[in-house]
Copies of this chain bind each other. A is one copy, B any other.
Amino acid sequence: MPLVDIHLLAGAFDAEEKKEMITKVTDTMVAIEGEAMRGVTWVRIIDVPSGQWGIGGKALTTEDIKALQAGG
């Protein structure tokens, strides 16, 4: 306790960014809950395949995310 699950569209972020999410989200949680909780703070990355995450009925692709990040 706690457990944090970060769900991402597969391919939208690379291994380095995923690692950074694990490290920084852990630090953010520990800053609130107390340093003594670090060892029992679990943060996981869950991938959802491209085309299997729908918003408003439209299935997102990795390309859609890249366009959105670029300011689209």
Contact = CB atoms under 8 A, between A and B. Distances in A.
B2 A7 contact: yes
A63 interface: no
Contacts of A25: 4, 25, 28-29
Q: What 10 pairs across the A-B complex have the smallest Cβ distances? A: A26-B57, A22-B54, A45-B52, A3-B7, A43-B54, A34-B69, A5-B5, A28-B28, A38-B56, A1-B9
Contacts of A6: 2-4, 29
Interface of A: 1-9, 12-13, 15, 17-34, 36-49, 51-57, 59-60, 65, 68-72
B34 A29 contact: no
A23 B7 CA distance: 17
